[in-house]
Amino acid sequence: MRLIWMFALSVVLLGLFGCTDYFNFGEPSVEEVGGNGFESTGYNAEVEQPLEEEEVVEEPLEVAPPPPEPGDPQEMLQHFVLVQMTDENGGVRNVYLDGRQYILALSMGQMMEYALEIEDQELFEKTWNFVDEHMINEEYGLPYASVWADDYMPRENRSNTDDDMRILWALYKAEELWGPEYGYKAEGKKIADHLVAYDQYLDILGKGVSWDENGHTTSRIMDVDDLRWEVMQTLADEDPIWRVMVVKTNQQFLTCQDQGNGLFWQEWDIQKSRPQYAEGLDVSLTSHMLRGARYYSEYKTYVPATTLHNRMKMEWEATGKLSSGYHMEYLGTGNGVEEVETYALAGRNAIALGDCEFAEQMKERVLLDMVLDVESPIYGSVSQNRQENGIEDDMDALLLFHELKDCEVPQTTVGP
């Protein structure tokens, strides 16, 4: 009877477990099945699985909206500058392909100018507030030439005269446009007074002020695009020091232009009293020539700008391009390198002279090669030799597009 009971118990156990090796679980295995899933065998399929943790939903990172679809390059460029290249505090970044990003006083002044052109006070305020808060040297009262884009700390221990003049002039024009209650002119006057205080007057608007733990030094070089004639003339009505400065710089500027070809030597050596190339360069940069000539037109006469404009048109008609610099000692031979800044400024100079057709050609060149050249690894530059984005080029292009909408032949000109 006992044997019958044990036999019956064995049969029951075999029926329950279905195998004779139930003590040997073996290694779990995973077999691939159709699709992307897996089928498990072994004890993992039999044991109770742990409860799934509650899924944590992360907030998506805030990213800039994508640029408009190709086909409207002007809107693509505007979106690129105002959305992709401008940070949340109003800093306009200049992005290298590799390396640390930074923000130029030049680009900030250009953005202030652009805000004036489109009469956008909110944009102007945001840009100026950034300069005032993050770029003004507390001791010398002048803007740093550039700051780092990640922490806003100074990148260069110096200030550039042309940047200072551009920013203070934008503040003066802002008061004309939006009224005195915002105090723009007073802020601009502070910068002007600091330019005078740190030997800029004695050195005839030297190229820039530098400072370190030993104090400040002033360059003995005057660049043709440092001379914002309309700025100096306005300041001269308030301060006799600037009146003397206008008189002193006028002859130096005109001497820098080669009357044979209309081009400009880029710099004037104040100590040696003669024109020269920029230090380290054997060419005079076209962008500096065009800025200087255009500023002079706004102050006194169109003659220097017209002479330079005619020279630009000659090269354009002969070669279909404009050089970014010229070898002055070789009858003004161009360097053959193209930059967006050159085309944008040539177009803006043409608008000042009433040559809307040439300005339109410059715009088309910019749009064709700067925005629609999808093969170029550098957004915002015609030249393949540049290693940076060149946000100052983009800003000048935006200003060209806006000014061209109202281009017309000047009715009157001021005599020499």
Contacts of 173 (CB under 8 A, 6+ apart): 116
Give CA–CA dist 300/21, Å, rounded. Answer: 105
Give CA–CA dist 245/265, Å, rounded. Answer: 20
User: Would you state the structure tokens that stand for residue 61, as one six-digit string?
Assistant: 């990172």
Nearest to 218 by CA among 190, 196, 247: 196
User: pLDDT, tens digit, for every residue of 83-127?
Assistant: 888 999 999 998 766 678 899 999 999 999 999 999 999 999 999
Q: What φ, ψ does residue 96 adopt, rounded to 5°? A: -80, 155
Average pLDDT over residues 287-305: 90
User: pLDDT, tens digit, for every residue of 355-384?
Assistant: 999 999 999 888 766 655 555 433 455 444
Q: What φ, ψ does residue 145 adopt, rounded to 5°? A: -60, -35
Which parts of 155-312 are beta strand (E)? 158-160, 208-212, 215-218, 221-223, 267-269, 274-276, 284-285
Question: For residue 9, what pLDDT is reported?
Answer: 44
Question: For residue 249, what pLDDT is reported?
Answer: 85
The proportion of the chain whose per-residue pLDDT surpasses 70, expressed as a percent, equals 72
User: Would you state the structure tokens that stand for residue 357, as one six-digit string?
Assistant: 């057709």
Give CA–CA dist 188/328, Å, rounded. Answer: 36
Nearest to 80 by CA among 405, 346, 347, 340: 340
**Is it the case that residue 189 has pLDDT exceeding 90?**
yes
Q: The whole model's pTM is what?
A: 0.77
Contacts of 401 (CB under 8 A, 6+ apart): 74, 77, 363
Question: How many contiguous H segments (helices) and E segments (strands) does the chain have?
Answer: 13, 14
Q: Is 341 left (phi over 0), alpha (psi -120 to 50) or beta?
A: alpha
Average pLDDT over residues 398-416: 73
User: pLDDT, tens digit, for every residue of 260-276?
Assistant: 889 999 998 888 889 99
How would residue 46 be classed by pLDDT, with cut points 50, 70 and 90? very low
User: Would you state the structure tokens that stand for residue 151, as one six-digit string?
Assistant: 């922490």
Average pLDDT over residues 145-162: 92
